[in-house]
Structure 1
Amino acid sequence: MTEEGTFCLVLHSHLPWLPHHGSWPVGEEWLYQAWAHSYLPVIELLERLAAEGRRDILTLGVTPILAAQLDDPYCLRACHDWLGTWQLRAQHAADRFRHADPLLRELASAEYRAADHALALFETKWQHGFSPVLRSLVDSQAIELLGGPASHPFQPLLEPRLRGFTLRTGLADTALRIGNAPSGIWAPECGYAPGMEHDYAAAGVRRFLVDGPALRGETAQAHEVGDSGVVCFGRDLDVTYRVWSPKAGYPGHPAYRDFHTWDHPTGLKPARVTGKHIEPADKKPYDPALAAEARAEHVADFVRTVVRKLRRIRAEQGKNGLVIAAYDTELFGHWWHEGPQWLADVLRALPEAGVRVTTLRGALAAGHQGAPVDLPASSWGSGKDWRVWDGAQVSDMVDTGAELQRAILSIVDDKLGTLRDPTIDQIVREGLLALSSDWAFMVTKESAADYARRRATQHTDRCTELIDLLRAGENERAAELAAWLRRVDGPFGQLDARGLRTG
């Protein structure tokens, strides 16, 4: 069989720092839904493929902020409770639907089986957290792991010192959990400013992802950025958008399970999409057989799309090309119920169609590198610029963030000596959480905007209070507050603010 070219699937796993911060729609429930419906099945799929001898299956980005939650003892206990509650909700659904449509009765049974399986997976493989599970996949080279900066900031808006520090901290956190720092990253929001490639080179990062328009659509090869020695890969939007786009994509098919329609007494989602303009009460019950037919059609369509694109590249360039599709991991299972099985089918169907499936590092090893490029300022957000994170709706947050960064650097320069200071460590930790890109995104997109502003303000106020106490000479009170904050809400215990000192 003629090899058509190379395909890379890149998944980005990220949720904001959520523990101890309330309930649905944006608190711990969010984390446990994604854990149960995306992380467990996707990792199980990767382990199954790895057991078959597959290597370089896909490239998986796991942000340090998510890794901290998936290893956190509180979250592990709470997720286990949540999975048990899922079983109970399915039992309640069986009673609630016992005289209803047979499809609803089957849905209750299927939910119970899924919850039982998830509990078994969690109790046998995840009790010590995500890192041991992930490390096995990394060590066997089943996947390529991408890291990222701590707290998921929009890097172009950070002061250079903070930008370098948060990147080093994030990579060090991954090394602590996995054993080695990744040599590639998925930059938060694919945010890029000219010159950042030199930050990457200094931190040991050798490859990163940008959105296709940053390369003017020239995504069929990887490209060195300037003469930095750092290579960028571009997401192919034509292919990626077959699955998920701002306006369409497979998950909106009428036969698929509807994410937005709830049976509130049980907390389950019993309906299929049915139609774009159908009211929730009028949606039809979910039918797995119809969904399976749609999934098979969409697997075939995706494979045809990839093959067609690779053949076009070869016709135009005279050599095999590269297609990269990149998505949030949470799409597969959490947002799109059928997503994990679609993913499994695609990862088997593409090689059968003559497509080499590999990772970003595998694509480089196969020779998919073109001429050097200079990249413009960019992101993968609306307009492919920075407007989501520095636009008019969040201008006050941008100004507050800039002021906070100056205050953090000032207190480090004025008060931090050669010995480690846990209070200043906590100042930096709270500052990084305040500067997470998630808050501006949620405000701009009007998705739980009040929650996002509250979280950003909470971390900003904590950071500022600690700084003010140190400025006032209230060192003991500052140390007590920092210790309390670290106990109740403290990712990145290894964060050492001395990395921000000059000289």
Structure 2
Amino acid sequence: RDPRSSAQVWSRHGGYPGASAYLEFHKIRWPGGLRLWRVSEPGTELGEKGAYEPDAARRQATAHARHFAALLDDVRHAQSAAGGTVVVAPFDTELFGHWWFEGPDFLGDLYAQLPRYAGLRATTAGAHLDAHAPRTGLRLAEGSWGRNGDFSMWHGPLVDWTWPVIWDVEDRFWSLAPRALADARVHEILAQAARSMLLLQSSDWQFIISTGEVEDYAIKRFNGHAVDCGRLLDALERALDGSGLDQGLALARELQQRDDVFREIIPSIEEAMRTDGS
């Protein structure tokens, strides 16, 4: 990944999404869930954030798109002189519109700017490889998009405590799954236990804790899903042993009111069991 173009979008301190005019992701009006504030100047506390001005944010996105197009052209010229043919600039799709609310406007303006630069055009990795077949291969170094390019955001002293919790839930879930799949009466409990386990496994919790921003929220969510998993697996085990089926179903339905994701999850559990050879 090209470091110059990557830093402009991803850098926490100097990247585009940190501009003062953009919508502040972390401050939300409650009740209602509306975001009404802008990022503001560096170091501004959440309680001091300024009011969001959509027109100013839109102008900022346009300016950043123009800057990025010019930057890509500069990088292209530098790489061409060294024999390069492509600027690799991949980003997580969720950045544009989720973390960076104005990201879709930035992308639209960027693509409108590209025709101004001869020899600069957007392409996909597959299309580039079709046009420029590689003559050799290489083994990529292990790494991630997180801090330091390694796995320390997910495996480090701040979050190491989360993994034994996840592993215990996984071991218990998969030890009960074969019996539960064979008994349609408990499928609702099994399904909600799977939903809670998947939410527990989300890598977001470790990432948020490691950033040091709203880590109390991530810890609360992680611990909450762990408790839900424990309650559901207890209920599932009791139901499989012949007691407490009605109570287990009531618990599963209660928790599904809050965490109603992955609606048709039983076939996925069955497929996972087949893939695992169980």
Q: Identify whether the pair has TM-score above 0.5, normalized to the shorter chain.
A: yes
1:409 and 2:164 correspond: no
Are residue 309 (structure 1) and residue 79 (structure 2) matched?
no
Please tell me the residue identity of whatever aligns with 2:207: F
Structure 1 partner of 2:139:
374
Q: Identify the range of structure 1 (380-389 vs 322-331) with the bigger mean alpha-carbon deviation.
A: 322-331
Instruction: Describe the shift of the 1:390–1:480 C-alpha distance in structure 2 as closer, same or farther (beyond 3 A).
Output: same
Asked whether 1:363 is paired with 2:163, we answer no
Cα deviation per residue 1:93-128 (whole Å; 9 max; x = unaligned)?
Answer: xxxxxxxxxxxxxxxxxxxxxxxxxxxxxxxxxxxx
Q: Does 1:471 align with 2:237?
A: yes
> 1:281–1:437: structure 2 CA closer, same or farther, 3 Å change rule?
closer
More strand by share: 1
Determine the C-alpha separation between the residues in 2 that align with 1:327 and 1:367.
Answer: 25
Structure 1: 5+ residue stretches without partners: 1-234
**Alpha-carbon separation, structure 1, partners of 2:28 and 2:10:** 25
Quote the residue 1:349 is aligned against. Answer: 113
The alpha-carbon deviation at position 401 of structure 1 amounts to 0.9
1:394 aligns with 2:159: yes
Written as runs of structure 1 = structure 2, the 5 A alignment for 1:77-476 is: 235-253=1-19, 256-257=21-22, 259=24, 268-269=36-37, 273=40, 275-276=41-42, 288=55, 292=59, 297-317=63-83, 320-332=85-97, 335=100, 337=102, 339-353=103-117, 354-367=119-132, 369=134, 371-417=136-182, 421-472=187-238, 473=241, 474=243, 476=245
Residues 412 and 500 in structure 1, CA contact (< 8 A), matched pair in contact too? no
- 1:118-172, Cα deviation, whole Å (9 max, x unpaired): xxxxxxxxxxxxxxxxxxxxxxxxxxxxxxxxxxxxxxxxxxxxxxxxxxxxxxx
* Cα 1:401–1:382 shift into 2, 3 Å: same
Counterparts of 1:459 and 1:237, CA distance in 2: 37
Render the CA deviation track for 1:242-289: whole Å, top value 9, x for unaligned: 2330321234456x34638989899633x784x546788697996957
RMSD: 3.7
The match for 1:483 among 236, 240, 253 is 253
**Deviation (angstroms), 1:386:** 1.3
Q: 1:321 is aligned with what amino acid?
A: V
1:406–1:289 Cα change, 3 Å: closer
- Say if 1:458 and 1:357 are closer, same or farther in 2 by CA, change over 3 A: same
How far does the alpha carbon of each residue in 1:13-49 deviate from its partner, in whole angstroms, 9 at most, with x for none?
xxxxxxxxxxxxxxxxxxxxxxxxxxxxxxxxxxxxx
- Which residue does 1:492 correspond to in 2? 262
Q: Is the 8 A contact 1:388 1:444 kept in 2?
A: yes
What TM-score, normalized to structure 1?
A: 0.45
Cα distance change, pair 247–272 in 1 and its aligned pair in 2 (3 A)? closer
Counterpart CA distance in 2 for 1:484 and 1:303 is 51
Using the TM superposition, give the Cα deviation of residue 461 of structure 1 relative to its aligned residue in structure 2, in angstroms: 1.7
- Contact residue 389 and residue 441 of structure 1 kept, 8 A: yes
Residue identity in the other structure for 1:467: L
Kept in 2, the 8 Å contact 1:272–1:286? The answer is no
Cα pair 1:299 1:342 within 8 Å, conserved: yes
CA contact (8 A) 1:321 1:368 kept: no
Post-superposition offset of 1:492: 0.8
Distance in 1 (alpha carbons) for counterparts of 2:56 and 2:221: 42
Q: Map 1:37-52; keep pairs closer than 5 Å.
A: none
SS of residue paired to 1:389: coil
Q: Which amino acid aligns with 2:154?
A: W
Higher RCO (CA 8 Å, separation ≥ 6 residues): 1
Amino acid aligned to 2:13: K
Q: Which amino acid aligns with 1:498?
A: E
Q: Check conservation: 1:239, 1:325, Cα contact below 8 A.
A: no
SS of structure 2 residue aligned to 1:312? helix
Aligned residues: 263
Aligned residue identity for 1:402? W
TM-score when normalising by structure 2: 0.76
